[in-house]
Each structure stands twice: as structure tokens, then as C-alpha cells.
A and B are shown apart, each in its own frame.
Chain A
Amino acid sequence: MEIPYTVAERPDTGLNNVKLGIWLFLASEVMLFGGLFSTYILLRVGAVEWPLGAEFLNIPIGTVNTVILIASSVTMVMAYASLKLGDFAKYKTYMLATVLLPVLFLCIKGYEYYEKVSHDHLPSHSTFLAIYWTMTALHGLHIIGGIVVNGYFWGPGSKMWHAKPAMFENRVEAAGLYWHFVDLVWIFLFPVLYLL
């Protein structure tokens, strides 16, 4: 027996279950990151002094990482569009890029963390660094999750395309929604931490 409405739209919601489910999950993620942004606001407003991001963080590196993540969002949506056009080879290419670009992001982030640790800029150093480490590390964990999921849909999971293409499209769309959300968080995180 098949799970219903994984492809067909439910008459009551107007969506298939996959899409409604992923949006509900993203709503919970908004509250997760929202709580941390709220923490940042409270800590900063209440601080006697607050450093400029540039005092501790490397803006060019952060900018490069922003461009990398936006590029991965573009390749993700192009992967999905390729599936809609029935071009599986192009889907594989774009999805591979969507997996490799955040790996590069994490390598650069790892270098940034290494620099911080070697200068003793740990979370215990100051409130600014505490919130920086917390928010970027949580975001990094989300990136790792996205790499795993997208990697699965590039690799073994892509077999579903040959048996059930519509269901596979929906799964890739859901993964794409998650991935765009991860990019969205960084779009706010980068200026808040690095530039302000």
C-alpha cells in the first residue's frame, strides 16, 4: 500500500504531503534560528561595548562564502528544473555542484575556525564570539545535513528517477526548499555577524 498524496495534491490543503511537511519543518527552523537571532539582539543591545565584526572576522572570506552558498542555491534550483525538463544528466551535474559547493564552504569555514582557535578567539573570549561560534556552528551543522541529503539524491537515491520520476521530483523539490532555507539563514547571518 502506497502512502497517499506523495505526488497528488490533497484536496483539503492543495499541496502534496511532501511539500506541506517540508514547509512545516522550515517553519520550525525559522523559530530555531529566530531564537538565536533574538539572543544576538538582546546581547548586543545590552552590551557595554560590542566589537565591529571586522575586528575578529575576515570580511573577504565571509563574502566568498556567501557567494559560494548563493551559487549552490542556484545550482539546486537548476537541478530541479533539469528534472522537470526530463534531463537527468544535467540534473546529476547540477546536483553534484550543489553537493561540492557547500563542501568548499565548510573547508573555508574550517579555516576560519582554525584561525580563531589559534588566536584564542574562543566562545569564552567574549559575548560576540560566543554568539558567533554558536550561530555559525549550528548553521554549519545544517549545511552538513544538506550535503548528506543532496549527496544521497545525487547518488543512490537518484535510482528512483527511473522507477517513479514524479515522486523523485517531489523529493528533490523538498530538499531544495531546505537548501534554500539554509542559504537564507546565511544571507542574514553574514551581514549581522561580519559587517555590523
Chain B
Amino acid sequence: MSGSAEEVREHIATYKKIAGALAVGTVVTVLVSYLDVSVAIGITIALIIATTKASLVVNYFMHLGEERSQWLMVTLGLTAIFWLVLMLVPLWTIADHIGVANTLPNANVHEIAEGEEH
């Protein structure tokens, strides 16, 4: 955040609006979770709201919206790409049978509850 006292005061006014938006977003997130929709739609809506809130924090609180450094943009751009690959890798490993139960040994809650002594 750069600049004169006047600019800082304008920023402060913005921060208060963003705070309100984040509070509303939180309430909406919780309310939406009570909707009777499929898991896939629920996940999509929740992640859209979370991403919106996150972008407000990143742009305004972390001042990324004002940053002009190419080094920073390239660093964060690469980070975003690697993060996306990280999210997709586990899905790619099962891309041919998403939605079908896998035989991961600890995926079955009932087997753990029944069997083992700890």
C-alpha cells in the first residue's frame, strides 16, 4: 500500500467494505450448505464462494491488485500452475473410474470400525 494519507484513508474505507463482503460470503456459504442439492453442485457452489472470498483477501488485504512487479506475477503464476497440477494429479490417477469405489484399504469406514484393535 503506497501513498498519501488520503489514499490510505480510501484504502481503509475499502477494507471495511471488503470485511462486510467477507462476512456476507461466510453466511451465504453456511446457508447454501443446507440446500438440498447433489454433492457435486454443493461442492461447486461452496468453492465458487470460497474463491470469491479468497480473491477479495488477496486483491485488497494482500494488495496484490496494486502490485506491478513482473517477478511477483511470474512467481505467483507458476505457483498457481503447480497448485492446479497438484489438485488434478490425484484425479488423473483415477480418471478412468471416477465415481466407482476404489479399494483403498482405509477408504471403507465400516471395516475400520469393526476390525482392528488399537
- Do the two shown chains form a genuine complex with each other? yes
Query: Which A residues form the contact surface with B (CB < 8 A)?
Result: 12-15, 19-20, 23-24, 27, 30-31, 34-35, 37-39, 41-43, 45-49, 51, 59, 63, 66-67, 70-71, 73-74, 76-78, 80-81, 84-85, 124-128, 130, 173, 176-177, 180-181, 183-184, 187-188, 190-192, 195-196
The DSSP consensus for interface residues of chain B is helix
Task: State which of A14, A48, A192 has its C-beta within 8 Å of the C-beta of B101.
Answer: A48
In angstroms, Cα B69 to Cα A20, docked, is 10
Q: Are A125 and B112 in contact (CB under 8 A)?
A: yes
In the assembled complex, 11 residue pairs joining A and B whose CB atoms fall closer than 8 Å, in A order, are: A24-B75, A31-B82, A34-B86, A39-B90, A42-B93, A43-B104, A63-B30, A74-B19, A176-B62, A188-B54, A191-B47
Q: A30-B83, A187-B57 are in contact. Are A67 and B33 (CB under 8 A)?
A: no
In angstroms, Cα B5 to Cα A46, docked, is 54
Task: State which of B46, B67, B106, B112 has its C-beta within 8 Å of the C-beta of A195.
Answer: B46
Query: Which B residues form the contact surface with A (CB < 8 A)?
Result: 1, 5, 8-9, 11-12, 15, 18-19, 22-23, 26, 29-30, 33, 39, 42-43, 46-47, 49-50, 53-54, 57-58, 61-62, 67-72, 75-76, 78-79, 82-83, 86-87, 89-91, 93-94, 98, 101-102, 104, 106-109, 112-113, 118
Q: Are B108 and A48 in contact (CB under 8 A)?
A: yes
The DSSP consensus for interface residues of chain A is helix
Min CB distance, B3 to chain A, in Å? 8
